[in-house]
Amino acid sequence: MEYALLRSLRALGPGLILLGYGDVFLAFVLGQHAYFWELDSAKLFVVAYVIGGLYGVLASACRRDRYAFAGVQESILRTFQKHFPDLQGRKWREISPCFYKLIDTDSSLQQKSKAVRFNGFIVTTSFDAMWISVLAVCVGALAALYTDVTLYLSVAATVCVISYLVWRQSVTRHCELADEQVNVIGRRLSTDFLDCITEASRARSR
């Protein structure tokens, strides 16, 4: 998946999820029709993209990716240390520049990175869906003080649970895909990797 397309989808996904919850709230709580679905597809995607973009700004401020990909960097680091025991005690920020440099310059790693990027989209989208669903449950709990929202809460809770399960599975898969890249480096590009680490260490010590 190309990076530009990935960025667009990462904004579009949450936007569509928020519109979906808006529709469900209007239908099940207020008994009204959501007219935004009557827009032509181009306009609807623009609306979803803008809403998703605004959500993305807030999510970035809350360090969304840090929490969505929790444990991934540690998994990659452990795999590196299995191939290169001398890296014990090194931090991710010391190793990551060389890791990404090799990915950018090796064709086989670039192919694997496409699967990593697509899976990363699943990670962030499911993570967003989970937390948007949590927010929807909170909104439903407030609305329950004034009207019956049983169906709305059932939908939000179900989506939240499914999103959580998809998120955890996609994080596990992300670790596996990243480990495959590290294994390629360990088998074929160990010299290039160690040279890069050595050069970076010398640059920091100057």
Using the predicted structure, report yes or no on whether residue 205 has a pLDDT greater than 80: no
Give the H/E segment covering residue 69: none
* Domain boundaries, given as residue ranges, for the chain: 3-205
Helices (H), the chain: 3-25, 41-61, 64-68, 72-83, 92-105, 107-143, 150-188, 190-205
Q: What is the pLDDT of residue 1?
A: 54
Q: Which of 96, 63, 97, 101 is nearest to 77 (CA)?
A: 96
Predicted confidence (pLDDT) per residue in 25-74, tens digit: 888 888 888 888 888 888 888 999 999 999 999 998 989 999 999 999 99
Report the phi/psi class of residue 63: left, alpha or beta, with left for phi > 0 and alpha for psi in -120 to 50.
left
Q: How far apart are alpha carbons 176 and 76 in whole angstroms?
A: 9
The angle formed by the CA atoms of residues 188, 89 and 96, to the nearest 5 degrees, is 50
Query: Look-up: residue for tokens 């100057």?
Result: 206
pLDDT digits (tens, 9 = 90+) for 128-145: 999 999 999 999 999 999
Contacts of 61-70 spanning 24+ positions with Cβ under 8 A: 64/124, 64/127, 64/128, 65/124, 67/127, 68/123, 68/124, 68/127, 68/167, 68/171, 69/120, 69/123, 69/171, 69/174, 70/171
**Residue 87 pLDDT > 90, yes or no?**
no
